[in-house]
Each structure stands twice: as C-alpha cells, then as structure tokens.
Amino acid sequence: MSERAHGSAGPTPPAPWRPVLLRLTDPRDRARFDSLLASGSVRELHDRIEDQLAELVRCLDPGAAPDGPAHAAAVADLLAGTELQQYGSWVWYPWSRRLVHVLPEREFRRVRTDRNRDKITCVEQELLLGRRIGVVGLSVGNSAALTCAMEGVGGSFRLADFDHIGLSNLNRLRAGVHDLGVAKTVLCARQMYETDPYLDIELWSEGLTEDTLDAFFGADGSDGAALDLVVEECDTPWVKTAVREHARVRRVPVLMDANDRGMLDVERFDLEPGRPLFHGRGGGLTAGEVRALGPAATTAYLLDICDEANLSPAMTDALRRIGTTLASWPQLASGVVLGGALVTDTARRVLLGHPVASGRYYVDLEELVGHAKTPATVGATP
C-alpha cells in the first residue's frame, strides 16, 4: 500500500524519505526545533533566508535596487513583524541530517520557479502545481518525476516501483554508491523533496498489483484524490496494460517514453475514452491475458506494442537476447534524461489544455544528428 507524506511535524518519527516542516511561530514546532538542535542529530544547519528574501524582492519588483533603504523596506514589508528566524519554514531532512531554512510555501515557489517566466506564466504555474501525477516505474520515471518537480509541473505525485537501487542502475539514475539497496521510490521522493519540500508525495514501494491499482488512481472509495495524468515507465508487460485499462476507464491521459529513438507515446484517454490501448497494438489482450503469457509470447507482445519495425536495430536485437546473453534491455543515461524532458514538456501541455493529440512521436537523435550532413566550417573554402 502507499506511504503518505504529511506536511507538518507530528509525534511519529518521520520515514526515511519524508522531510519534516517546522514553523517556529508554532510553539510545538519551536520546541521540536530546539530539541533537534540540542540532540546533536543536525549535521548541517543551512540558513540563507536573507538571500531568498532578496530574490523574492527582485521577483516581485525586477526593477528595484538590490540594496539600500527601499530594498530594506521591501524586506521589512514581507516579514511583517516576524522575526527573521521564525519566518518561513525550517525543513528537517532526516536522511542527510540537514536542517534548512526556506521561504513560506507560496513565496518559495514564486522564487523557485521565477526563471520559468513567461514560458510558463504565473497563472499557468499555479494551475500546474494543483495537479496530481502518477509515475509507474522509476528509471525513465525517475527522470520524468524529477524534471516535473523542477519545472513545477505537478504539486502532488504518486510514485510506484517495487525495485531497489542496484549497481547496474547507476548507468542511468542520478544516484551514488551510498544509495545501493535504497528503494527507487524512496530515492526519487528524497530527490524531489530536496528541490521542493512543499510537495505532496505518496509512495507505492511494493509496486502496483491488481488489488492496489484502484487506490493508486484515486478511485471512488479510496482515500486519495484522482490522478490528473499518468507516466507509465515500468518493465512489467501486464502492469503496462493494466495501467492503461484503469486510465481509460477513469479518462486519465497516459504518457510513456520508450528510451529508444526518443519515442514518446501519448494516449489521450481523457479525450478518447474508447481509444484502443497502445494505439491498437498488442492484439487487444487484457492485462490478465498478458500476465498468463509465456516468455516467448511476452517478448512478442512487447515487440508488437513497441512496433518492432520502428525500434532501433540495437533494441530489436537486445529484446531477443534477454535471458540468454543479456540480463535486460539496454538503457542509456542520455536516453533516460531525454525521456524525462519529453514527458515533462508533454505533460505540461496536456495539463494546461494545449492541443496534444494521441500518437507516437519520435525525437530520434540518430536521425537528427547522427545521420546529418557535417556542416561546413565557418570560413572554410568551398
């Protein structure tokens, strides 16, 4: 089942992926803050709140002088009589033992996303931060979730993956050797919270099953709010199918990057509730039928839904050798990062109501760059 994130301090010790927000204007949080400092648990106390306030002043009035009486008056107006130490929130990150002072939520996000302007307007940013995104599978999914968090595409997330970080994951995941053995959900949540401690994140660290898919989607009768969009990046064929079945019933759009040839799938079940899964590929098999397939039939199913004729030669070859000469299919860090960018850009467009049609799209760098003619050197003789 899920592990839910809570935004305020409480009597229960925090999970290893969940930060604690302390607001020193609250006497209980003040007591916990003092106790934390006295305990010796804090490895690093990081307080750059004055710098953040200066940035906030510039965001609100870009033409204002960066110092002087007018700047001091603007800061005083923002503080509104609150002592500097008590302004905003102190964020306790138990996994790194850092205690960090940040602006209040609204002001924090105004400054943190300021350089989005006006590729994303303030009104659009507010709308995006009110959306909830589900991410299933945390290789490309990790890149997508982190990029969404950085760009402010989504303020609430559900992360699902049963796997843990292994050494072979470090060719494509932003993680260190000290993260080996950490749940992929935990790693991703920590990274996202270090970008924005005000996010709302739920973890599904046992992956998704037939019994938990309804709750993951926030179906009627579950505790959670409904998802606005799903990013599906898992390796398990029946789960890939089941996620789409549930998304179609609930009219939730699904995005998937295949980490091959920059292939991006867009399935607008929100607009086309009768749309066939995988654009009609896969023979119309249900998740239950896919789950019952043997190894050879499962490989054939994957090749069908991914359109074997349009896979890269390396991927086509790899899929047929998995379990014999290859442990799994190849994934490169460059492809994972590209996938995160493609998913985030498309998610932003979908969530803002921009016209995005269902389909399969390619941003194939082999075609765009690898086969491109070498440009002439500037100044060279023809």
Q: What is the pLDDT of residues 17-42, one digit of tens each?
A: 999 999 999 999 999 999 999 999 99
- pLDDT at residue 30, as a whole number: 98
The pLDDT tens digits for 54-104 are 999 999 999 988 888 999 999 999 999 999 999 999 999 999 999 999 999
Q: Do 308 and 166 belong to one domain?
A: yes
The gap from C-alpha 358 to its chain's centroid, in whole angstroms, comes to 21
Q: Do 173 and 318 belong to one domain?
A: yes
Intervals of the chain under pLDDT 70: 1-15, 220-223, 372-382
pTM over 0.85: yes
- pLDDT at residue 16, as a whole number: 87
Q: Do 65 and 138 belong to one domain?
A: no
Q: Count of CB atoms within 10 A of residue 283's CB?
A: 12
Q: Do 38 and 169 belong to one domain?
A: no
Number of domains forming the structure of the chain? 2
Q: Is residue 349 part of a domain?
A: yes
**Segments forming the whole domain that contains residue 56:** 3-112
**Boundary-marking domain end, from 112, 140, 161:** 112
In 7-153, where does DSSP find H-type helix?
27-39, 49-60, 69-79, 105-112, 122-129, 140-151
Q: Do 134 and 57 belong to one domain?
A: no
- pLDDT at residue 98, as a whole number: 98
Residue in the block written with tokens 């050494």: 167
- pLDDT at residue 6, as a whole number: 38
Nearest of 318, 349, 341, 297 to residue 127 by alpha carbon:
349
Residue pair 50/84 in contact by the 8 Å Cβ criterion: yes
- pLDDT at residue 7, as a whole number: 38
Q: Do 102 and 154 belong to one domain?
A: no
Coil/strand/helix, residue 21? strand
